[in-house]
């Protein structure tokens, strides 16, 4: 090769190497910049979004699934998708469905190009088209999420760990408002109905007195008594009306405060204010503390609008951020009532629980709850424990008379407590139960003729007691002679009579010696010569699973009847 040609080749290699290094360095700088931009976006995720500022991001609205499955795709797809999404605002025809159809068309065209054997360039074009198809396949979901404002898929990358964008339009918000308004409304409805019942009862008592005004001129003393009675009833009606009106007004004001609170969060635009979000967070914390049993912590947080800092699993530090009482926005009073009921139940007192059941009788009836029945039954048990059996019987007649079959069976079991004294020792009954279970077999519940007379469980008095107990664990079957009750084994082999019944050899030999070689079947009373008895053998029948079918190994032995 000439010297000039060698120099030209070296120059080309050198230039290509520099070009390659420049391209590699450019790609490296681009990737580092994209990583830094992604870090900045993630570091801003804790900032709350408002409607006055718009944070620009070069990334498409990636989902967590895309970040996990293709963490490097955002280097290329991010800027392209970001620009394309803004372009779809102008070109409305670029919908998610349209892009999906286009991706299918491009995929078909790519497969045609890749399958072309004649041209390498066409196959290269097919590979590029397939990469375009991958981009379109990812873009259709991005466009759909970008234009959809009512699903949780609309999450920008900077909000993965912060607030949702357009949270006021998410379906979770009405779900969060539901318990906030449901409880005070139910309380208002309950007080209204209670007031209506009280006033109707008072009016029914006053109405007969108003009908006596025609007789006021007949007798002065009767007229004075009637007017005095009427005055007392009217004063009582006025007092109860005022008290009921105050209760209803208090419940209505509580509803109004909660509506105003929710309206405040929805009237400031798409994104609520920071203070409203803090109040909402405190409400959720109060609800969590109440459900977890931290009543004092919940009360302190609700009273002063404090903020809770959890330093570890056991200590709680409270520091004040803003002074706002949120007691009216929580359901602390309901949980405190429940706490009082729980404390009384822990002290074996059901009075407050029964009072609560009486106040909420209609709701419990709709729910088909058995809480009141359970409390009445517990009252019966507590009277038995105090050895007040007559009071327990009167209590059962008054409160436990029911037509429900399930409750009736429970009451019948509870009535057994009247038979046993309070100082009854349970250990002998437990020992008897364990002993019956250790001896119980399926043979104990066959016909009376097939039962073993020597078995305690086969006795009629104990047979019913052991009916619901589990059977004894027997890994090996034991054959017992029906005549002598001894086991059938190699020392006492089983013999079968012509009628099919099997007995021990020792019993049949003894019977034949006493009856001149004749044996009598104790079950059928049939008589046979001893020489007609056949010796039988007991074997284990194994089963094998072949081709999904259970096959038994064939055996030449006879099936014996015992």
Count of residues making up the chain = 562
Lowest-confidence range among 300-309, 329-338, 522-531?
300-309
For residue 310, give the H/E element and its range: strand 306-310
Q: What is 524-554 written as a DSSP string?
A: T--EEEGGG-EE-------EEEETTEEEEPP
Which residue would you say has higher pLDDT here, 443 or 4? Answer: 443
Give the confidence band of 250 by pLDDT, cuts at 50, 70, 90.
Answer: confident
What per-residue confidence (pLDDT) applies to 68? 52
Residue in the block written with tokens 């290269």: 124
Give the confidence band of 164 by pLDDT, cuts at 50, 70, 90.
Answer: very low
What per-residue confidence (pLDDT) applies to 77? 57
**Angle at the Cα of 57 from the Cα atoms of 151 and 135, rounded to 5 degrees:** 70
What per-residue confidence (pLDDT) applies to 157? 35
Q: Is there a contact between 462 and 455 (Cβ–Cβ < 8 Å)? A: no
What per-residue confidence (pLDDT) applies to 43? 61
Q: In Å, how far are 65, 75, 176, 233, 304 from 520, measured between CA atoms?
A: 83, 98, 84, 95, 96
Cα gap 466→453, rounded to integer Å = 16
What per-residue confidence (pLDDT) applies to 528? 92
Q: How much is the average pLDDT of 522-539?
A: 87
Q: Is there a contact between 456 and 420 (Cβ–Cβ < 8 Å)? A: no
Q: Is there a contact between 400 and 376 (Cβ–Cβ < 8 Å)? A: yes
Residue 319 has pLDDT above 80, yes or no: no
What per-residue confidence (pLDDT) applies to 8? 58
CA atoms within a 13 Å half-sphere pointing along the CA-CB vector of 495: 20
Q: In Å, how far are 339, 449, 452 from 445, measured between CA atoms?
A: 51, 11, 10
**Angle at the Cα of 196 from the Cα atoms of 358 and 259, rounded to 5 degrees:** 90
Residue 527 has pLDDT above 80, yes or no: yes
- Both tokens of residue 87? 């372009």
What per-residue confidence (pLDDT) applies to 550? 42
Greatest mean pLDDT among 68-77, 149-158, 424-433 lies in 424-433
Question: What angle in degrees, to the nearest 10, is found between the helix axes of 332-346 and 274-292?
Answer: 10
The DSSP call for residue 453 is T
Three-class SS state of 113:
helix
What per-residue confidence (pLDDT) applies to 24? 73
For residue 349, give the H/E element and its range: none
- Residue-wise pLDDT tens digits, 491-516: 889 999 999 889 999 999 999 998 88
Which residue would you say has higher pLDDT here, 353 or 329? Answer: 353
Cα gap 322→308, rounded to integer Å = 12
Q: Mean of the per-residue pLDDT values for the chain?
A: 72
Per the DSSP assignment, residues forming a β-bridge with 99 are: none
Per the DSSP assignment, residues forming a β-bridge with 519 are: 528
Note the Cα 97 to chain centre separation in Å: 37
Strand order in the sheet with 494-496: 502-504, 494-496, 534-535
What per-residue confidence (pLDDT) applies to 53? 41
What per-residue confidence (pLDDT) applies to 380? 92
Give the confidence band of 529 by pLDDT, cuts at 50, 70, 90.
Answer: very high
Beta strands in 463-548 (DSSP E): 494-496, 502-504, 518-520, 527-529, 534-535, 543-546
Per the DSSP assignment, residues forming a β-bridge with 535 are: 495
- Both tokens of residue 523? 């079950």
Lowest-confidence range among 93-102, 245-254, 326-335, 340-349?
93-102
**Which residues have a Cβ under 8 Å from the Cβ of 122 and sit 6 or more positions away?**
113, 116
Q: What is 183-198 written as a DSSP string?
A: HHHHHHHHHHHHHHHH
Q: How much is the average pLDDT of 376-404?
A: 88
- Residue-wise pLDDT tens digits, 448-503: 776 777 788 888 888 888 888 888 877 677 788 888 888 888 888 999 999 988 99
- Residue-wise pLDDT tens digits, 12-66: 655 566 776 777 787 778 767 766 766 666 565 444 444 334 444 545 455 555 5
What per-residue confidence (pLDDT) applies to 193? 79
Q: Is there a contact between 309 and 327 (Cβ–Cβ < 8 Å)? A: no
Note the Cα 322 to chain centre separation in Å: 37
Q: How much is the average pLDDT of 193-202?
A: 78
Percent of the chain having pLDDT more than 70? 65
């Amino acid at each position: 090769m000439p010297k000039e040609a060698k120099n030209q080749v070296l120059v080309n290699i050198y230039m290509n190497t520099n070009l390659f290094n420049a391209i590699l360095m450019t790609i490296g700088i681009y990737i580092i910049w994209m990583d830094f931009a992604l870090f900045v976006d993630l570091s801003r995720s804790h900032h709350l979004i408002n409607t006055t500022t718009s944070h620009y991001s070069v990334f498409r609205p990636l989902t967590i699934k895309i970040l996990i499955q293709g963490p490097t795709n955002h280097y290329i797809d991010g800027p392209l998708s970001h620009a394309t999404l803004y372009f779809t605002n102008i070109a409305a025809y670029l919908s998610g469905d349209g892009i999906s159809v286009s991706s299918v068309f491009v995929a078909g065209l790519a497969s045609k190009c890749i399958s072309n054997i004649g041209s390498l360039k066409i196959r290269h074009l097919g590979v590029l088209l397939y990469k375009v198809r991958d981009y379109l396949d990812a873009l259709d979901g991005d466009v759909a999420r970008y234009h959809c404002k009512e699903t949780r898929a609309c999450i920008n990358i900077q909000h993965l760990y912060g607030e949702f964008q357009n949270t006021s339009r998410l379906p979770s918000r009405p779900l969060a408002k539901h318990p906030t308004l449901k409880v005070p409304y139910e309380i208002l409805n309950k007080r209204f109905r209670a007031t209506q019942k009280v006033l109707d009862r008072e009016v029914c008592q006053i109405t007969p007195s108003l009908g006596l005004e025609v007789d006021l001129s007949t007798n002065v003393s009767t007229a004075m008594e009637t007017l005095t009675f009427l005055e007392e009833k009217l004063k009582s009606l006025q007092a109860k009306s005022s008290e009921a009106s105050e209760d209803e007004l208090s419940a209505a004001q509580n509803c109004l405060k909660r509506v105003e609170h929710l309206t405040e969060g929805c009237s400031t635009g798409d994104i609520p204010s920071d203070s409203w979000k803090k109040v909402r967070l405190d409400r959720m914390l109060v609800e969590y503390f109440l459900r977890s049993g931290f009543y004092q912590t919940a009360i302190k947080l609700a009273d002063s609008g404090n903020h809770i800092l959890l330093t570890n699993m056991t200590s709680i530090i409270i520091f004040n951020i803003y002074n706002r009482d949120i007691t009216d926005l929580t359901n602390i009073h309901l949980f405190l009532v429940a706490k009082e009921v729980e404390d009384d139940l822990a002290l074996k007192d059901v009075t407050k629980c029964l009072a609560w059941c009486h106040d909420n009788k209609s709701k419990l009836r709709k729910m088909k709850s058995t809480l009141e029945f359970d409390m009445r039954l517990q009252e019966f048990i507590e009277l038995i424990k105090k050895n007040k059996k007559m009071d327990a019987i009167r209590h059962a007649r008054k409160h436990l008379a029911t037509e429900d079959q399930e409750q009736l069976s429970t009451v019948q079991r509870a009535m057994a407590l009247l038979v046993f004294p309070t100082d009854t020792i349970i250990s002998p009954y437990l020992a008897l139960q364990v002993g019956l279970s250790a001896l119980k077999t399926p043979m104990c519940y066959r016909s009376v003729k097939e039962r073993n007379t020597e078995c305690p469980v086969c006795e009629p008095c104990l047979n019913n007691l052991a009916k619901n107990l589990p059977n004894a664990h027997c890994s090996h079957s034991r054959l017992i002679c029906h005549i002598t009750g001894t086991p059938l084994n190699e020392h006492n082999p089983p013999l079968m009579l012509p009628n099919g019944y099997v007995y021990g050899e020792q019993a049949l030999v003894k019977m034949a010696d006493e009856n001149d070689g004749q044996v009598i079947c104790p079950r059928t009373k049939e008589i046979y010569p001893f020489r007609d008895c056949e010796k039988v053998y007991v074997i284990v029948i194994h089963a094998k699973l072949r081709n999904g079918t259970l096959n038994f190994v064939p055996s030449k032995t006879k099936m014996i009847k015992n």
